[in-house]
Amino acid sequence: MAPSEDRPWPARRKALLSDEHRPESGWRRWRLHHLHPAAVSLLFTAAGLLWLLVVDPILAAGFHGDGAKRLFEQWPNVLVTLTGGILLYGLLQARANSAARARQAQELRLSEFMERMFDVAFLKDRQGRYVLLNPAGARLACRSLSECLNRDDLALFPADMARKMMEDDRRVIASGELLSCEDTFTFQGDTRTFLSTKWPCRDSAGAIVGIIGIARDITVEKRAEQRPQRARADLEARVRERTVQLLTINENLERQIAARTRAECALRDSEERFRQLAEHIREVFWVHGIEQERPLYVSPAYEDIWGRPIHGLHDRPQDWIEAVHPDDRARVQAAHVAKRHSGHFDEEYRIVRPDGTVRWIWDRGFPILDEAGHTYRIAGLAEDITRRKLAEDQLRRQQVELARMSRLSLAVELASNLAHELNQPLAAIVAYTQACLALLHQANTDPRVLTGPLEEVVKQGLRAGEIIRHLRELVHKHPAVQSALDLNALVRSVVHYAQLEVRQAGVALRLELADGLPPALADDIQIQLVVLYLIRNALEAIGEENGEPREVILHTAPLDADRVQVTVRDTGQGLSPEVRDRLFQPFFTTKAGGMGLGLSVSRSIVESQGGQLWATSNPDGGASFHFSLPIHAPS
């Protein structure tokens, strides 16, 4: 019989204790008090009548021979027996009715108690199915009461919770004793703690037919118990943490005090060293205050360089600017104002000393930042660079004159080659002129016949003029003009002028010119002069050797994304380490009668064009001279 929500609690309990829930060994035994009162009274009445009407007459007939008389005598006893049976039935029925009413009242009170209690109360059969469950249990399962009955825990609760509850049920049935335990589950998205008490449900014969239990949700109580513990643990943790912090702060404070003491000692030593350094260096060390807008410190070297007293700066902070040369003063004043914002100062300017002498100053400053990263001071050095400036001017003048002398020397050396070049057009002019005269001596000469020879005379005259103009450009000074330069065309042009000398030296000249070479940014005439120097240097190096091969290679190629390179390679004797170290020094030469200016001037020309000139030794003998030039970038 399946329990139902519609059946009252006594009926459901009666169904639980019925024969279908009883074990075979306990419920099949006959017991007297299990019989109905009518059956008990009938049984006793039948037994009395059997004794009076059957057994006793038979015994009397067997022993005395008067069985019929004995049977007749038993009729009063029969009436008594029947009366006693009726009275026994009445007593037993009254007792049964009283017990049923008491049991029904007890079960009604139990049912009302379970219905009204807030804890979960339940009754299960031996298979773990709910036979009885109060509303609190149904609310816990989030189902109606009818959906909960006759179903086990796996069908109503999460798997881990259900397995733990069923394991407890098996322990109760196996031990037959009460079991009380606390369990914590994650249920409906929350962690909840339940106090469960279970004990076996027995029938009147003492056999276990199910499990009775109560479960109380003690999550709030547990949390209330744990709250002081957590608070105490948090307090202890904070006390420990604060203690550690205080110890750490104390240790840091001690270290900071010690460090501050060391820093103060170091600062005093540093200030003393700084004072000694500032007072003995040749440069002027100065410190300018941004907020004060005046010099805070100026080293004694100021008086030696400016020729003015230091105390004048304290009275008139702009005294140092008033000493700046009038041509530079506006620029220096603007840079001085700008340094208050940028913190940087880097200027070269002239000053006029009180005695009228002019000195060049290189003045640079850098910012000093505070803890917040703001510039509050500017420190710097002012250096007297008059000697360097004079040396640079002298060097520039010497380089210009040296380049001019080198061009003159080269022009003299090229005179023989150019004379040969001029002989060819002059000889052609003479020949064509003589031909024209011969034709004119003829009486019937057509003037139109003279057109061809005269045109050739003009061409050869123009060719001679071009040769002379090129020589003039090499000799005379002219301003360097950088423009886009086709290095391949320039190399071919220089080789054309040097062909005579190449043939006379018995040297093979080979060109390895890169296709699509980007144009260089340089002065045409000066780079021609460099290439011509390097070709002549290679020819002279090969002329000192008698072996083979005798070859000069001119190679062009891109060096990188911003530069192109020209290489002049020879098969001469190469470069010794001593020669390579002094190769580009002015007036150094290994050739008899040489001036030692060609390579020095060539390097100066290349560097003035933004390039570099260097030499390397070839693995198979000879030397290579390379120079690079910047690539022309069209605007």
> Position 244: which residue type?
V
Across the range 44-56, mean pLDDT stands at 76
What is residue 563's predicted lDDT score, i.e. its pLDDT?
93
Q: Are residues 516 and 593 in the same domain?
A: yes
Q: Are residues 592 and 465 in the same domain?
A: no
Cis preceding-peptide flag for 453 (omega within 30 of 0): no
What is residue 30's predicted lDDT score, i.e. its pLDDT?
45
Among the listed ranges 171-180, 284-293, 626-635, which one has the minimum average pLDDT value?
284-293
Q: Are 481 and 522 in contact (CB under 8 A)?
A: no
How far is it, in rounded angstroms, from Cα 111 to Cα 511?
120
Q: Are residues 401 and 463 in the same domain?
A: yes
Mean pLDDT computed over every residue of the chain: 79
Q: Tell me: pLDDT of 231 over 70.
A: yes
What is residue 98's predicted lDDT score, i.e. its pLDDT?
80
Residue 135 lies inside a defined structural domain of this protein: no
Q: Are residues 505 and 542 in the same domain?
A: yes
* Residue 487 confidence class, pLDDT cut points 50, 70, 90: very high
Residue 100 lies inside a defined structural domain of this protein: no
Sequence-ordered list of residues with C-beta below 8 angstroms from that of 574, at least 6 positions apart, any chain = 617, 618, 621, 622, 623
Residue 627 lies inside a defined structural domain of this protein: yes
Residue 193 lies inside a defined structural domain of this protein: no
**Which of 340, 366, 384 is at the close of a domain?**
384
Sequence-ordered list of residues with C-beta below 8 angstroms from that of 58, at least 6 positions apart, any chain = 67
Q: Are residues 631 and 606 in the same domain?
A: yes
What is residue 133's predicted lDDT score, i.e. its pLDDT?
87
- Cα–Cα distances in angstroms (integers) from residue 119 to residues 142, 166, 182, 197, 496, in the given order: 15, 19, 14, 11, 118
E strand spans, 203-282 = 208-217
What is residue 517's predicted lDDT score, i.e. its pLDDT?
92
Q: Are residues 497 and 569 in the same domain?
A: yes
Residue 300: which domain range? 281-384
Better-predicted residue by pLDDT, 3 or 31 = 31
Q: Residue 291: which CATH number?
A: 3.30.450.20
Better-predicted residue by pLDDT, 402 or 495 = 495
> In the chain, what percentage of residues exceed pLDDT 90?
14
Question: What global pTM score does this model have?
Answer: 0.34
Residue 434 lies inside a defined structural domain of this protein: yes
Q: Are residues 375 and 430 in the same domain?
A: no
Residue 29 lies inside a defined structural domain of this protein: no
- What φ, ψ does residue 180 adopt, rounded to 5°? -125, 130
Q: Are residues 328 and 467 in the same domain?
A: no
Residue 327 lies inside a defined structural domain of this protein: yes
Q: What is the DSSP string of 110-132?
A: HHHHHHH-SSEEEEEETTS-EEE
Burial class (CB in 10 A: 0-12, 13-18, 19+), 619: exposed
* Residue 270 neighbours by CB distance under 10 Å: 11
Across the range 144-162, mean pLDDT stands at 90
Across the range 95-113, mean pLDDT stands at 73
Across the range 377-387, mean pLDDT stands at 88
* Structural domains counted in the chain: 3
Q: Tell me: pLDDT of 535 over 80.
A: yes
Closest CA to 84 of 53, 40, 35: 40
Closest CA to 324 of 315, 333, 313: 333
Sequence-ordered list of residues with C-beta below 8 angstroms from that of 86, at least 6 positions apart, any chain = 41
Residue 151 lies inside a defined structural domain of this protein: no
Q: Are residues 490 and 629 in the same domain?
A: yes
Q: Are residues 496 and 423 in the same domain?
A: no
